[in-house]
Amino acid sequence: MTMTFGERLRTAMRTRGPLCVGIDPHPALLHAWGFDDDPAGLERFGRAVVQALGGDVAVLKPQSAFFERHGSKGIAVLERVVAGAREAGSLVLMDAKRGDIGSTAQAYAEAYLDPSSPLCSDAVTASPYLGFGSLRPLIDMALTHGNGVFVLALTSNPEGAEVQSAMGATRRTVAGTVLDHVRETNRQGEGWGSVGCVVGATLGVTTENLDVGGPLLAPGLGAQGATPHDLPRVFGAALTSVLPAFSRSVLTAGPDPDDLRAAAASARDAVKQVLVGGSPSREQG
């Protein structure tokens, strides 16, 4: 049987450490590395990150938008980044934040989670704000092929609160409802769940139950202002399920591969010091 994404991620976090590094080729970062803001510069950037970190980091997270802005040539680079990272041994989380309905949602599932697609990744980020049920094609495709989905729940941007903290008819917050749906989806499987949530490390204290029986991607560390020492305050009892994500604070160390590896190792060591030891938890009940 195909190993589930949850199991593969848990293994990667145990053996390589709990760290996700974004591949975010901002124009300013390309220039800082001495590369042009064009498909050739994009290729050099992506190849450098993969060669430096693909053999060491548990998860690499390419931000699709920075490749899409270069059109078809940028998408071709993204395909090679995905293939290279997976070949090097890192899990690939495609940060695309897709969300739609019906046949369009199915097409996104086929693009990012079907092994026959050149963009197929180990997991993809998804937006549930057309209703959690709209993500069913993504979730079904992921579970069929041993891949995963990270659903936006409590994001690191301050504007997110106006939607995510709103109360629904059941007197549950929108974010709480999303967390409930993910928790129930993971209960239907075995082991650590393959459907995770995105919960920003900049969030502060929350009363939401963050234990969804699967991984919690924690963006916002480094350049966005959060530090590893904020993680226990935000995640509480769900701390062992956290996958901390760094981007610019690691990438600015490039393009020298040794410097990139040192920056990633420093980030990994910092989060290891504050994350509670032991296996990621799965809520019982």
Q: What is the chain's pLDDT, residue by residue, as a tens digit (285 residues)?
A: 579 999 999 999 999 999 999 999 999 999 999 999 999 999 999 999 999 999 999 999 999 999 999 999 999 999 999 999 999 999 999 999 999 999 999 999 999 999 999 999 999 999 999 999 999 999 999 999 999 999 999 998 889 889 998 998 788 999 999 999 999 999 998 899 999 999 999 988 889 999 999 999 999 998 788 999 999 999 999 999 999 999 999 999 999 999 999 999 999 999 999 985 434 444 432
Active site residues per annotation: 97
Helix segments in the chain, DSSP class H: 5-16, 27-32, 39-53, 64-68, 71-88, 102-113, 136-144, 161-164, 174-187, 231-235, 248-251, 257-274
Distance CA 278, CA 184 (A): 23
3-class secondary structure, 237: helix
**DSSP track, 107-129:** HHHHHHH-TTSTT--SEEEE--T
On whether the CB atoms of residues 202 and 225 are closer than 8 A, the answer is yes
ω into 255 cis (within 30 of 0): yes
The reported pLDDT for the residue numbered 232 is: 95
Residue owning tokens 């799965």: 282
Distance CA 5, CA 10 (A): 8
Domains and CATH numbers, the chain: 5-274 (3.20.20.70)
The reported pLDDT for the residue numbered 1 is: 58
Distance CA 107, CA 271 (A): 36
pTM over 0.85: yes
**DSSP track, 134-156:** GGHHHHHHHHHTT-EEEEEEE-S
Distance CA 198, CA 56 (A): 23
3-class secondary structure, 18: coil
Give one word for 68, left, alpha or beta, with left for phi > 0 and alpha for psi -120 to 50: alpha
The reported pLDDT for the residue numbered 52 is: 98
